[in-house]
Structure 1
Amino acid sequence: MSETNREGKRTARERLAAERARQNAADKRRRALIVGASALCVLGLAAGVGVVAANAGKDDGGASGRAMAPSGANGEDGLVIPVGRESARSTLTVWEDFRCPACKSFEDVYRSTIHELTDAGKLKVQYRLVTLIDGNMGGNGSRKAANAAACAQDAGRFPEYHDVLYKNQPAETDDAFGGNGRLIELAGQVDGLDTDTFRRCVEDGTHDSWVVKSNNAFQKGDFSGTPTVLLGGTNIYADRSMTPAKLKRMVETANKT
């Protein structure tokens, strides 16, 4: 074989090896993106957090405005929407964003178990609303949906409307919840919610500043993203062995002590 042929084959092998390396790197990046998107709505780096803060400051009412908490909200600064009996021995704290796909996934899997435990008086849930996706993806659907949920809390219909929002969640890149009309339309799926009072609350952004304040509390916390689900201070969402059945056993055990 001539030196020229050997050199040509060696060069071809090198090009093939380089192409395979590039393809492997691209595959790894693609897999990482898929895993990241499906597992958690993650906080951005410093620049991303800056966008969240900037958007929060532009919200109607602004963080500096008077934050009007919804009826029955409690906890520090009145930022918690409580569901369930106060006497329940187990407390589940859920930081969530109505635009977050991972939050919807959590709700779809755990919804019936959480309802069963709260209805039985064994579990109380503290819902804390976040606008993370507005900052990461643009738009204002997270804030507007959170305000509408707070308006539903005023009407005593938060749990039902909460579930309707997740069952009708648009794609993460679709800011459909940014339209008041869509939020009011969905209220029609909850008995007694679509009233003039609810519509005014949604259209006026009555609880916008409260939502901003709630999101600021999330930003100050040591959280990696949404959903963050704490049972007795432990992030059960980060527990890969967690299942609805395991959550039920943990809550029922706590109620026996």
Structure 2
Amino acid sequence: MSEKNRDGKRNARERLAAEREKQKAAERRRRTLIVGASVVCVLGLAAVIGVVAANSGKDAGPKKAGPVVAPSGAQGQDALAIPVGKEGARSTLTVWEDFRCPACKGFETTYRPTIHGLTGAGKLKVEYHLATLIDGNMGGSGSRRAANAAACAQDAGKFSAYHDVLYENQPEETKDSYAENSRLIELAGKVDGLDTPAFRTCVQDGTHDSWVEKSNQAFQNGHFGGTPTVLLNGKNIYQDQSMTPAKLKRMVEEADRG
């Protein structure tokens, strides 16, 4: 073999080796870039998650509470009771209720005619206390929004009628329809003279929200078994398995006779 051919083959092997080394170097750079990009993506994702979590924490935190504004005519300790009936009645029915509570609706449906008859006759005074138990158990804000709207109705002297409308139109427990102010205002149209600019503003501004929260805290502090809790002259009659509207009427009338 001539010296020229040997040199040609040697140069070809060297070029091939150099090309292979170049390819290996390119492959190493490619892998480095992929790993680096992956790390950047992971770090970027972690940063995004961190920002979202931080913002979520801020959104989920309690909003600044407004002043406690009791509805007009509220009575009792801390003005947490909305009274219905004659002030001088010899019997007082204390009702702790939640407008999203199905059991509360059941009580209202069964006892409402009797209660209305007794309050109308001046023999019974009812003190309504509003709680937000279902909001805590099921999530949402319908209990609080409805309670605020009911307090707004009390400001307008329409609590009793609006109270009944809310129960007559109560959504399913799992549906938080009362969280919508528009729905609460719509239902106010069923009560003569309630749907006014003042009522709408009160509902939309959550004028009595802090009062509702304070009322619910009083309910929690009372360690009641749930809603409704119904006390006649301090005695829990809702737990009385023998209680009926007729029995309640008899008890109140006996007390009225002295």
- With the length of structure 1 as denominator, give the TM-score of the two structures: 0.76
Report the Cα offset of residue 223 of structure 1: 0.5
Which residue in 2 is equivalent to 1:66? Answer: 67
Q: Is the 8 A contact 1:61 1:208 kept in 2?
A: no
Structure 1 residues 239 and 84: alpha-carbon distance in aligned structure 2, compared to 1, 3 A threshold: same
| Counterpart secondary structure, 1:99 | coil
Q: Which one-letter code corresponds to 1:99 in the other structure?
A: R
Give the unaligned 5+ runs of structure 1. 1-56
1:248 matched to 2:249? yes
Structure 1 residues 149 and 61: alpha-carbon distance in aligned structure 2, compared to 1, 3 A threshold: farther
Report the Cα offset of residue 232 of structure 1: 1.0
Q: Higher relative CO (CA 8 A, sep ≥ 6), structure 1 or 2?
A: 1
Q: Deviations over 1:228-250 (max 9, x none)?
A: 00001111110010000000000
Which residue in 1 is equivalent to 2:153? Answer: 152
Structure 1 residues 130 and 61: alpha-carbon distance in aligned structure 2, compared to 1, 3 A threshold: farther
* Distance in 2 (alpha carbons) for counterparts of 1:66 and 1:143: 16
Structure 1 residues 220 and 106: alpha-carbon distance in aligned structure 2, compared to 1, 3 A threshold: same
Percent identity for Structure 1 against Structure 2: 73
* Distance in 1 (alpha carbons) for counterparts of 2:235 and 2:175: 32
Q: Which one-letter code corresponds to 2:126 in the other structure?
A: V
Which residue in 2 is equivalent to 1:141? Answer: 142
Which residue in 2 is equivalent to 1:77? Answer: 78
* Distance in 1 (alpha carbons) for counterparts of 2:203 and 2:190: 16
Q: Is the 8 A contact 1:61 1:209 kept in 2?
A: no
Structure-to-structure mapping, 1:116-195, within 5 angstroms = 116-195=117-196
Q: Deviations over 1:68-121 (max 9, x none)?
A: 000000100010000001010000000000000000000000000000000000
Q: Which one-letter code corresponds to 1:87 in the other structure?
A: G
Report the Cα offset of residue 153 of structure 1: 0.1
| Counterpart secondary structure, 2:238 | helix
- CA RMSD in angstroms comes to 1.2
Structure possessing the higher radius of gyration over alpha carbons: 2
- With the length of structure 2 as denominator, give the TM-score of the two structures: 0.76
Aligned residues: 199
Report the Cα offset of residue 61 of structure 1: 5.3
Report the Cα offset of residue 129 of structure 1: 0.1
The runs of at least 4 consecutive aligned structure 1 residues that moved more than 4 Å come to none
Q: Which one-letter code corresponds to 1:115 in the other structure?
A: H
